[in-house]
Amino acid sequence: MAYGKRKSERVNFDRGIHAYIMGIDGTWRRGCTMLDISQSGARLCVEGCFDGLDLREFFLLLSTRGLAFRRCQLVRIAGDEIGVRFLARDKADNVSLKR
């Protein structure tokens, strides 16, 4: 997904939606503001610095309890904003959700 060449329509949030990003292994978490979202990705404004964070793959937590989340991959960094692509769920995840 290249910046500016969107595959799906984006929904912009005037004030942003507060969320968190968290490492796959759960060792780090940062607050962020979701500026826009689509079916395939989102644009986030991250609080604090990115130094030492593994942003290749992480979770976007949409609730404080972690019940609403998306697995993400970093697409681009522009200052304190990042663009992310949502990763498809594995078949194993789908099987465990059906139980």
* DSSP 3-state percent helix, strand, coil across the chain (nearest 5): 10, 50, 40
The CA-atom distances, in angstroms, between 17 and each of 7, 32, 34, 35, 44 are 22, 8, 5, 7, 9
Token pair for residue 39? 């079916």
User: In Å, how far from its chain's centre is CA 76?
Assistant: 12
The matching CATH number, chosen from 2.70.70.10, 2.40.10.220, 3.30.565.10, 3.30.1360.120, for 11-98 is: 2.40.10.220
Quick one: pLDDT at residue 65? Answer: 75
pLDDT digits (tens, 9 = 90+) for 42-95: 999 999 888 888 888 999 999 877 689 999 999 999 999 999 999 987 644 544
pLDDT digits (tens, 9 = 90+) for 2-11: 455 656 788 8
pTM: 0.78
Strands (E), 1-99: 11-23, 29-37, 41-46, 57-61, 69-78, 81-86
Quick one: pLDDT at residue 78? Answer: 92
pLDDT digits (tens, 9 = 90+) for 19-31: 999 999 999 999 9
